Amino acid sequence: MGAETKRRMAIISKVYCWSSQRVVVVRRRPHVVNGGGFVVSDCSTQQVVFRVDGSGILGAKGELILRDAHGDPLLLMRRKGGMVEALSIYRKWKGYSLDYEGSQKLVFSLKQPNSCLVKNNAIRISKSEKGWDFEIRGYFPDKNCSIVDCKANVIAQVGVKKEVEELMESKDLYHVIVKPGIDQAFVFGIIGVLDYIYGESTYC
């Protein structure tokens, strides 16, 4: 990414924009445990960084919450519904940042193709209503995909390490590499939505 890595891309907060690359492990929670979702831990320290609560916890389909290491809510992800969505070729998700007073601010929109199980269907994310800023490349259920910006720079990569594959036949454990300067909270908000779209741990 060159000079791009030196610039912080704060979408949720600059607190989550590190000057160095970060590698984390995502561990999915079964639906029967605390209502589903997943936990994000730092590879080096093993400390929990984020948690995404699925719809089983919230009691509402199409609604997820990203929390920080202390359990405080950072981001609410909500899927739009209704007849307009049913007739559209896309389903839309909205991500809202949450402050300590509980107020919401729209920070991203994600367009989910209705036929998202087709591997080459693009999933795009925008920070405004004009065009798109990020795109998912690869296929999330295979745990082999990247989030790229509109200039084709990779901002985060999702994968399964070989040693993890050898230990586990399921893909309840995978790693994510977040590039320097990128808002990690934003990245895991997007991964939370992808997890739900493909009917994984956050879906209930």
Instruction: Output the tens digit of pLDDT for each of the chain's 204 residues.
Output: 444 445 678 889 999 999 999 999 999 876 655 567 899 999 989 999 999 998 766 667 788 999 999 999 999 999 876 544 555 556 789 999 987 666 688 999 998 776 655 566 779 999 876 778 999 999 998 899 999 999 999 999 999 765 545 544 555 789 999 999 999 999 999 999 999 988 777 765
**Cα separation of 54 and 59, whole Å?**
9
- Predicted local confidence at residue 2, as pLDDT: 43
Residue 114: closest CA among 78, 84, 158: 84
**Spatial distance between the Cα atoms of 150 and 164, rounded to a whole number of angstroms:** 32
The pLDDT, as a whole number, for residue 198 is 86
The distance from CA 46 to its chain's CA centroid, rounded to whole angstroms, is: 20
* Torsion angle in degrees (nearest 10) through CA of 62, 170, 123, 156: 110
pLDDT number for residue 156: 97
Distance in angstroms (rounded) separating the CA atoms of residues 116 and 32: 26
Q: Give the whole-angstrom CA distance, residue 47 versus residue 53.
A: 18
User: Does CATH place domain 2-197 in 2.30.40.10?
Assistant: no
What single letter denotes the amino acid at residue 49? V
187: its two tokens: 């990245």
Amino acid code (one letter) for 106: L
